[in-house]
Chain A
Amino acid sequence: MDSLSCGHGAGGRRLVRPLVLVPVLILGLALLSAVATPHGRAFAAGDPNAKGDAISPVEDFSRELDKLKKSFGELGKKMDDSAKAIEGYTDVEKARKEIEDLRGAVAGLLDAVADNGGLATLGDKALTRARNKLRELEQDTRFKPEERNFLIEQWRKLRDDTERANQELGSARARFAELLRTLQANEDFIEELVQIRQAQKVIDVIHQLTRDIRGASDQLQRLIGGIKPPGA
């Protein structure tokens, strides 16, 4: 999806591009100032000791300008990243995909505990084995009565534990089935909720970008403020 906000086509991109041009224009202005400086004015950079030194102000200015260029370069990258992030957050398909992923995750859990799934089949087998074993032992004449009683007791415990485990599996199955049904039934509403969450993220990105631009603007202001004619 190309748009900045849903349903506005390429308009979003048009909004983002001028943002990217801002640092370029600011940098241009700064460079113009730099070109003008050696002829008419010296860069004092607020350093009183630099007065009368012809080289130092130029070096200071050059250093500050380099810093500014670096900072604008980073800002440009941040703007590009933000534009990409905003495009992602306003993508309705992405919201839909998130719900599908969520449904896939719940389905994966349900898959493990379904009645004809691997876990339930194993549980049934284990229970059948414990029940059969108990039946066999009750008629087994190979052991002394105390041995037989001991073995029967052990298998009874195993049978009860397996029954409990199977019951827990059953309640997990019911829970996951209910969850999946709820996801399906409220799909449209959940999609709207995801879109609201994404719109909030867009605002966060814009706030952060605004802070970064303000920071760069302050930096430029300091650079321009530092340009003073010699002896001023």
Chain B
Amino acid sequence: MRARRVLIPCAAALSLAMLAACTPTDVGYVEIKTVPVATPTATFYLDSVKLEPPKNGTAVLRQRVGTAKLETPAGGGQMAVLCDIVVRKNRITTVTISLLERPPRCQCRNTAVADPQAVRSCIG
């Protein structure tokens, strides 16, 4: 009887977790352009996921809806945040990375925050 009392909530919680896992998540798209066309040595991370070097300087990635961080290694095992990318459902957010500057700089097609002190935030 006691085992049953424990098992039923566990089974319910497991079912809920499985249901949540099955629910399709909303996705949007991030277009990353590099200027000039990136060399294979340029490495970027989007939400801690290492990106393949963009082909012909452009990559279009599907990304979960929300705010993703675009980062690049800054030396000493540290990461430098280049900008935040706001991803909205069925929308594309375009960001151009200028590799001519050190560290590389994000140029947003549409910017969310005007404050120059804040991390640049690109929106779709």
Pairwise interchain contact A107-B55, C-beta atoms closer than 8 A: no
Seed contacts A110-B92, A111-B62; 18 additional CB < 8 Å A-B pairs: A103-B90, A104-B90, A107-B29, A107-B91, A110-B60, A110-B62, A111-B27, A113-B60, A114-B62, A117-B62, A124-B52, A170-B55, A170-B56, A177-B60, A180-B29, A180-B92, A181-B31, A184-B91
Q: Does A80 contact B (CB under 8 A)?
A: no
Interface 1/0 per residue, A90-116 and B, CB below 8 Å: 000000000010011011001101111
| Cα distance, A169 to B75, chains bound together (Å) | 35
Closest to A113 in B: B60
Q: A114–B60 contact, CB under 8 A?
A: yes
**Inter-chain contact A115/B92, CB cutoff 8 Å:** no
Size of the B side of the interface (Cβ < 8 Å), in residues, is 19
Residues in A neighbouring B14, C-beta threshold 8 A: none
Q: CB of A173 within 8 A of chain B?
A: yes
User: Which residues between 1 and 31 of chain A lie within 8 Å of chain B, taking CB atoms?
Assistant: none
The answer, yes or no, to whether A174 is at the interface (CB within 8 Å) is yes
Give the CA-CA distance A61 to B56 in the complex, in Å: 82
Do A173 and B90 form a contact, CB below 8 Å, given A180-B29, A184-B124?
A: no
Q: Select one of A104, A174, A177 contacting B29, CB under 8 A.
A: A177
Name the A residues within 8 Å of B61 (CB-CB). Answer: 114-116
* Chain B residues closer than 8 Å to A106, beta-carbon distance: 90
Q: Which 6 A-B pairs have the closest CB atoms?
A: A107-B90, A114-B62, A180-B92, A115-B59, A103-B90, A116-B61
Tell me if B31 and A177 are in contact (CB < 8 A).
Answer: yes
**CB of B58 to closest CB in A, whole Å:** 7
Please determine whether B52 and A115 come into contact, CB atoms closer than 8 angstroms. yes
Interface size class of A (residues with CB under 8 A): 20 to 34
If A170-B56, A184-B124 touch, whether A116 touches B90 (CB-CB below 8 Å) is: no
Chain B residues numbered 86-112 whose CB sits less than 8 Å from any CB in chain A? 90-92, 94, 109
Q: Is the interface of B mostly helix, strand, loop or mixed?
A: strand
| Chain B, residue nearest A102 (CB) | B90
Q: Restricting to B54-68, which residues have a CB under 8 Å from any CB of A?
A: 54-56, 58-62
Q: For the complex, what is the distance from the CA of A124 to the CA of B55, rounded to whole Å?
A: 11
Residues of B within 8 A of A114 (CB): 29, 60-62
Give residues in A with beta carbon < 8 Å to B.
Answer: 100, 103-104, 106-107, 110-111, 113-117, 124, 170, 173-174, 177, 180-181, 184
CA distance A113 to B55 in the complex (A): 14
Q: Taking the nearest CB of chain B, how far is it from the CB of A83, in angstroms? A: 33
- Chain A positions within 8 Å of B60 at CB level: 110, 113-115, 173-174, 177
Interface string of B46-58 (1 = CB under 8 A from A): 0000001011101
Measured CA separation A111–B109 after assembly (Å): 21
> Could you list 29 examples of A-B contacts with CB < 8 Å?
A106-B90, A107-B27, A107-B28, A107-B29, A107-B91, A110-B92, A113-B60, A114-B60, A114-B61, A114-B62, A115-B54, A115-B55, A115-B59, A116-B61, A116-B62, A124-B52, A170-B56, A173-B60, A174-B60, A177-B29, A177-B31, A177-B60, A177-B92, A180-B29, A180-B91, A180-B92, A181-B109, A184-B92, A184-B124
CB neighbours of B27 from chain A (8 A)? 107, 111
